[in-house]
Amino acid sequence: MTAQIINGKELSAELKQEMKVEVEGLKQKGLTPHLTVVLVGDNPASKSYVKGKEKAAEITGISSSLIELPSSTSEDELLQLINELNDDKSVHGILVQLPLPDQIREQQVIEAIHPDKDVDGFHPSNIGKMMTGEDTFLPCTPFGIITMLKSKAIEMEGKHAVVIGRSNIVGKPVGQLLLNENATVTYCHSKTKNMKEIAANADILIAAIGKAHAITAEYVKEGAVVIDVGINRQPDGKLTGDVDFESVKEIASYITPVPKGVGPMTITMLLKNTIKAAKGLSGIE
Ligand SMILES: NC(=O)C1=CN([C@@H]2O[C@H](COP(=O)(O)OP(=O)(O)OC[C@H]3O[C@@H](n4cnc5c(N)ncnc54)[C@H](OP(=O)(O)O)[C@@H]3O)[C@@H](O)[C@H]2O)C=CC1
Ligand SMILES: Nc1nc(=O)c2c([nH]1)NC[C@@H]1CN(c3ccc(C(=O)N[C@@H](CCC(=O)O)C(=O)O)cc3)C=[N+]21
Q: Which residues are catalytic?
A: 53, 97, 120
Pick out the residues of the known binding site for NADP(+): 165-167, 231
Residue 55 is predicted with a pLDDT of 95
| Alpha-carbon gap, residue 232 to 237, rounded angstroms | 9
Co-location of 146 and 96 in the same domain: no
Q: Give φ, ψ of 17 to 5 degrees.
A: -65, -40
pLDDT digits (tens, 9 = 90+) for 15-31: 999 999 999 999 999 99
- Is residue 209 in some structural domain? yes
Shared domain for 185 and 148, answered yes or no, is yes
Amino acid 228 reads: D
Question: For the domain that residue 194 is a member of, what is the CATH number?
Answer: 3.40.50.720
Q: What does the pLDDT look like over 201-211, one tens digit per residue?
A: 999 999 999 99
pLDDT level of residue 241 (50, 70, 90 thresholds): very high
Query: Mutation test of ligand 1: which of 97, 164, 187, 209 has the most ligand atoms closer than 8 Å to its C-beta?
Result: 209
Alpha carbon nearest to ligand 2 atom 2, residue: 97
Name every protein residue with a CB atom under 6 angstroms from any ligand 1 atom.
141, 164-167, 169-171, 188-192, 195, 208-211, 229-232, 262-263, 266
Do 207 and 154 lie in one domain? The reply is yes
Same domain, 100 and 150: no
Q: Does 88 share its domain with 190? A: no
pLDDT tens, position by position, 212-237: 999 999 999 999 999 999 999 999 99
Cis status of the peptide bond prior to 99, with omega within 30 of 0: yes
The ipTM assigned to this model is: 0.98
85 contacts: CB under 8 Å, gap ≥ 6 = 36, 38, 91, 94, 117
What's the average model confidence in pLDDT over 32-44?
Answer: 96
> What is residue 31's predicted lDDT score, i.e. its pLDDT?
98
| Residue 139 confidence (pLDDT) | 98
Structural domain contains residue 280: no
Q: What is the DSSP letter of 30?
A: T
| Residue 6 one-letter amino acid | I
Give the pLDDT confidence score for residue 1 in this predicted structure.
74
Which ligand has an atom closest to residue 97 CA?
Answer: 2
Express each pLDDT in 92-125 by its tens digit.
Answer: 999 999 999 999 999 999 999 999 999 999 999 9
Domain assignment of residue 242, yes or no: yes
Domain membership flag for residue 42: yes
Angle between helices 140-151 and 262-282 (to 10 degrees): 110
If you average pLDDT over every residue of the chain, what do you get? 97
**Residue-wise DSSP of 108-158:** HHHHHS-GGG-TT--SHHHHHHHHHT-S-PPPHHHHHHHHHHHHTT---TT
pLDDT range class, residue 86, cuts 50, 70, 90 = very high
163 lies in the same domain as 240: yes
Residues 69 and 181 in one domain: no
**Are 148 and 72 contained in the same domain?**
no
Q: Are strands 34-40 and 93-96 parallel, antiparallel or unpaired?
A: parallel
Domain that holds residue 105: 30-114
**Could you tell me how far CA 136 lies from the centroid of its own chain?**
15
Confidence at residue 174, expressed as pLDDT on a 0 to 100 scale: 98
Asked whether residue 273 is domain-assigned, the answer is no
Strand, helix or coil for residue 16? helix
The answer on pLDDT for 48 being more than 90 is: no
pLDDT in tens, 117-151: 999 999 999 999 999 999 999 999 999 999 999 99
- Residue 50 domain-assigned (yes or no): yes
Specify the pLDDT at position 45. 87
pLDDT at position 38, please? 97
Residues 168 and 248 in one domain: yes
The arithmetic mean of pLDDT across residues 51-66, rounded, is: 96
Task: Report pLDDT for 71.
Answer: 97
Q: How far is the CA of 45 from the centre of ligand 2 (A)?
A: 8
Give the annotated binding-site residues: 165-167, 231
CATH number for position 42: 3.40.50.10860
Q: Residue with the nearest Cα to atom 26 of ligand 2? A: 48
Position 218 scores a pLDDT of 98
In a domain, 214, yes or no: yes
Domain count, the chain: 2
Residues 6+ apart with CB under 8 A from 238: none
